[in-house]
Structure 1
Amino acid sequence: MGTDQLDNTSDSFMPGRRKSGKKRLLGFALVVLVGMGGAYFWFQGDEEVEETEPLIRIAEIGDIENTIAATGTLKPFETVEVGAQVSGQLVRLYVEAGDEVEAGDLLAEIDASQQQQRVESSRASLAGQEALLESRMSALELARANADRQRRLMAEDATSQQDFDNAMNQLASAQASLIQTQRQIDQSRASLAIEEQELEYTRIVAPISGTVVSLSMTEGRTLNASQQAPTILTIADLTEMTVQAEISEADIARLSTGMEVYFTTLGGGNRRWNSELRQILPQPVIENNVVLYTGLFDVDNNDGALLPEMTAQVYFVTSAARDVLTVPIGALTFLEGGPASAGAGFSQAMSAQAGNLPGNRPGGIVRPEAGAGRPALGDGSINREQLRAGPAAGGRRNRLATVQVQNNDGTITEQEIMVGLTSRVAAEVVTGLQAGDQVIAGVLQGDVSGIDRDQIRNALRGGFR
């Protein structure tokens, strides 16, 4: 077959190949269009069937508080390190860690043989000096009698001047010897008291009542107390504990002594220990260029639930309202230039979705009519002039706000209220609501088997680009 014939044969196959490629391209484009259209209708249908429901919360009596959090460590209120004041071998320990002791109880004994010998030597020396004192007193009496005789003889000119002077000198010498001996006896008695005290120091007794929290020495250990008293054991009074809280320098200006404080522990569950701030130490602790001040407060521990070195999560209460009517902060929309809140966004969402709420009558959110049982907006029940006059009880300034209330018939009522103390999650209702009222704190939207629809949409839309 020639070259021209081969060229003709190849050209005859080209139209078929072009047609096959076009069909494949058209098929692929059709599949993409169908997929995109199906996704679009799935999204639209999903939004149409998605149900919108109000997030209902009940106005109830509770507590509101604003706190400053800190981390603390538990320490015994009183701790004593019991040491040895004399050197020697520790021959006996009568307690173990965890034992309860009373003040004066015998805790340990040190070998007292050397101290006992010193005491006996001092007593013997003192006895000899006391005997010498008797001799000095007799010599003084003799010298005094001889001096009196020489005075009489001198008056009668019956003795020499030398004999008279010798008698006077012997009297003065006897008096000096007696005084010297008395002073030596006083010194010996003092030395004996020291020796007896050192002998008593070989018996280690409890200085306070408490718990033996640690033992630093064991029986048979030689103690050297010549330069520094070695610690044998530590006793702590665990019936009262002190919390040392680490406070950031950013929060220190908001704290003051006497303010309410409470703490929890890792193993204490929901139990709270309440107290008052006793002291803030002026010297800070600087760690890694972080300045921390130490706050101290005490708490009773009669049940023994708290132990030394436990970690405490501390909360200093800067403001609080107890047993007041509360609602979620997200349910509020503040008026008169008050701070914005999540309630504003929720109110807008509820207004837009009012027609879709179950049981809601046409027209969406309504205002209460006269005699509806609650004060209506602008009916004079909330005194705005009084609100502007100054802070409420406890130094808190009240603010006006509105809240969405769901009635028993399913209708939504916008209600004006007076708000007292607020926290990050709740607000105190001074007037305008009653306990048990149902307020709307937001909007609940359906989901797809717990999957976030917005995440799915964003992911799929990114894939179509």
Structure 2
Amino acid sequence: MKKLLLGIAGLWAAGALGFWYWADARTSRVTYRTIAVRRGDLRTTINATGTIEPEEVVDVGAQVAGMIESFGADPADPGKPVSYGTRVEQGTVLARLDSSLFKARVEQAKGRVARDEADILQAKAKLAQAERDYERSRKLHARGNGVIAPQEYDAAVSTYEVAKAALVVAEGALLVSRADLQEATVNLGYTTIKSPVKGVILDRRINIGQTVVASLNAPSLFLIAKDLSRMQIWSSVNETDIGSIREGQAVHFTVGAFPHDRFEGKVTQIRLNASMSQNVVTYTVVVSFDNVGGKLMPYLTARLQFEVESRKDVPVVPNAALRWQPRAENVVPEERPNLASYTRRNRARPAGKDAEPREDSAAEADRKPVLWARDGDYVRPVPVELGLTDGTSTEIRGGNVKDGMEIVTGATRAESATDAISILPHTWTEKK
């Protein structure tokens, strides 16, 4: 009987020892995914889209009506007419209208000027004759004794006054005819349409033979960009982000035409005339940039990143390290009683806000963000303070975090030779 009891006890001890080895083997077969704390630069941004526009464009119109007779010559190649993309100088001829009617009006005005000049000569001659008659009559009238009848004297005076008035009228008519000649000459000049500025033709909106009708609004014939070495982006920024935009703010942007190139600019204007579309309010923000090489063309769509805040050479960790939470049996034994205080979701402070994280409730007020550092087969909590985040990585402030420290971002452990339990950044997921 004694031998039987000893045998049973031995079997029980062997089974307990085997179970302990099995449980210990399960616990020890945990593989942690870690990443080293590094120093780097962080930048928080606001994303938006916009359209590249020239800083200054001139809409060239016609001030008189007429048919397009011809285009001017390209300054770079006189054998070619000006067209889209032609670089023009100030005064370059862009187009000519049919000037036949305007030339005829100039000739008519010249004829009226000549006629009025002749009328002035005639009026001066009549005035001179009337003045001589008046002088003779005045001298005879002054002698008295009835040498000249009063009626004759009055007629001489009247004739003289009328002659002076006729000269004034003739001189006024000459002024009007000369003004008409000047107007006709100016209108004739308007039949030759010239570039008012130095720039590049973005758009030509007419063809030879087309009739231009000038009315209250001058018809647009050419659109000229004054200077393509300086350009702008008109971007639409959501009302929730506009508070973080300021003049002089740095902006990075890309365009689809050059997907591998990154361009830079600065905010130069925040326009207050907001627009609403489908209950979404947006503001137009103007971003200026240098385009000295002429690489970027007008009206390209740009994807912008407004730099809200930045940090240089600070300790950073991926946000996955802040989200991962271990199971109790993976934590060093002395920290297991405090595990509940570390299970809140770690929060990085939003861009442009104070470093204090917001709490979900008063009960969480004493809970701190924590990273998990590997300690043998276990992990050890490292309380930290969080700084800036760009959505992928977060700045670490304070705590005992050092450059190169291995921080756990996830773990997996084998459950059997053919099965495993995966410890994801958020929770454990058992394979069944």
Same structural fold, with TM-score higher than 0.5 when normalized by the shorter chain? yes
Alignment map for 1:218-233 (pairs within 5 Å): 218-226=207-215, 228-233=217-222
Contact preservation (8 Å) 1:90, 1:108: yes
- The equivalent position to 2:152 in structure 1, one of 149, 163, 172, is 163
> C-alpha distance in 1, partners of 2:153/2:402?
116
Retained in 2: the 8 A contact 1:405–1:439?
yes
Does the alignment pair 1:240 with 2:262?
no
Do the aligned residues in 2 keep the contact of 1:260 with 1:317 (CA within 8 Å)?
yes
Contact 2:37–2:406 (CA<8 Å) still a contact in 1?
A: yes
Deviation at 1:327, TM superposition (A): 0.3
Distance across 2 between alignment mates of 1:446 and 1:120 = 103
SS, match of residue 70 in structure 1: strand
Indicate the larger mover: 228-237 or 435-444. Answer: 435-444
Where in structure 2 are the equivalents of 1:445-456 lying within 5 Å? 445=412
Confirm or deny: 8 A CA contact 2:90 2:196 kept in the other structure. yes
Change (3 A) 1:251 1:200: same
CA offset at residue 242 of structure 1? 2.3
Q: How far apart, CA to CA, are the structure 1 residues paired with 2:47 and 2:241?
A: 9
Partner of 1:305: 295
Aligned to 1:287: 277
Determine which structure has the larger strand proportion and give its number.
2
Match status 1:70 vs 2:37: no
Deviation at 1:126, TM superposition (A): 0.7
Deviations, residues 44-88 of structure 1 (Å, cap 9, x unaligned): 9x97896513321342232x2222222212222222222222222
CA deviation after TM superposition for structure 1 residue 431, in Å: 5.8
Q: Aligned ranges for residues 414-425 of structure 1 at < 5 Å?
A: 419-425=386-392
Give 1:124's aligned residue: 111
Q: Which residue does 2:6 correspond to in 1?
A: none
Answer whether contact 1:262 1:274 (CA < 8 A) is retained: yes
Partner of 2:172: 183
Among 99, 105, 108, which residue is 2:86 paired with?
99
Gap change, CA 1:432 and 1:246, over 3 Å in 2: same
- What residue in structure 2 maps to residue 296 of structure 1? 286
Counterpart CA distance in 1 for 2:62 and 2:210 is: 12
Q: Distance in 2 between matches of 1:410 and 1:452?
A: 16
Structure 1 residue 434: deviation in Å?
9.0
Question: Does structure 2 retain, via aligned residues, the 8 Å contact 1:243–1:297?
Answer: yes
Question: What letter corresponds to residue 67 of structure 2 in structure 1?
Answer: Q
1:214 aligns with 2:203: yes
Judged with a 3 Å threshold, the aligned counterparts in structure 2 of structure 1 residues 406 and 99 are, in CA distance, closer, same or farther, namely farther
1:205 CA drift (Å): 0.8
Change (3 A) 1:460 1:423: closer
Deviation at 1:262, TM superposition (A): 3.2
User: Which residue identity lines up with residue 126 of structure 1 in the other structure?
Assistant: V
Task: Check the 8 A contact 1:264/1:272 in 2, yes or no.
Answer: yes
* Cα deviation, residue 203, structure 1: 0.8
- In the alignment, residue 437 of structure 1 is paired with which amino acid? G
> Counterpart amino acid of 1:86?
V
Give the structure 1 partner of residue 405 of structure 2. 438
Report what 2:32 is aligned to.
53
SS in 2 for 1:278: strand
Q: Which residue of 2 aligns with 1:252?
A: 242
Inter-partner Cα distance in structure 2 for 1:439 and 1:183: 99
1:188 Cα offset (Å): 1.2
State the match for 1:271 in structure 2. Answer: 262
Task: Give, in whole Å, the separation in 2 of the partners of 1:298 and 1:290.
Answer: 25
Q: How far does the alpha carbon of each residue in 1:398-443 deviate from its partner, in whole angstroms, 9 at most, with x for none?
A: 7886655689x99988666665434423334566689853341512
- Given residue 253 of structure 2, which amino acid in structure 1 is its aligned partner? F
Q: Which residue of 1 is the match for residue 326 of structure 2? A: 349
Alignment of 1:310-329 (within 5 A): 310-318=300-308, 320-328=309-317
Q: Which runs of 5+ in 2 are unaligned?
A: 1-22, 72-80, 337-351, 358-367
The one-letter code of the counterpart of 1:276 is V
State the percentage of identical aligned residues. 27
Contact 2:253 2:264 in 1 (8 A): yes
Q: Which residue of 2 aligns with 1:86?
A: 64
TM-score by length of 1: 0.67
Question: C-alpha displacement at 1:257, in angstroms?
Answer: 4.1
Amino acid at match of 1:100: R
Structure 2 CA distance for partners of 1:48 and 1:428, relative to 1, 3 Å: closer
- The residue number in structure 1 matching 2:189 is 200
- Give the SS at the match of 2:326: helix
The number of equivalent residue pairs is 365
Q: Which runs of 5+ in 1 are unaligned?
A: 1-43, 332-341, 356-361, 366-393
Q: CA RMSD in A?
A: 4.0
TM-score by length of structure 2 reads: 0.71
CA contact (8 A) 2:232 2:287 kept: yes
Q: Give the residue type in structure 2 aligned to 1:80.
A: V
Q: Which residues in structure 2 correspond to 1:358-437 (within 5 Å)?
A: 397=355, 403=371, 419-429=386-396, 436-437=403-404
Counterpart Cα distance in 1 of 2:89 and 2:329: 74
Matched position secondary structure for 2:229: strand
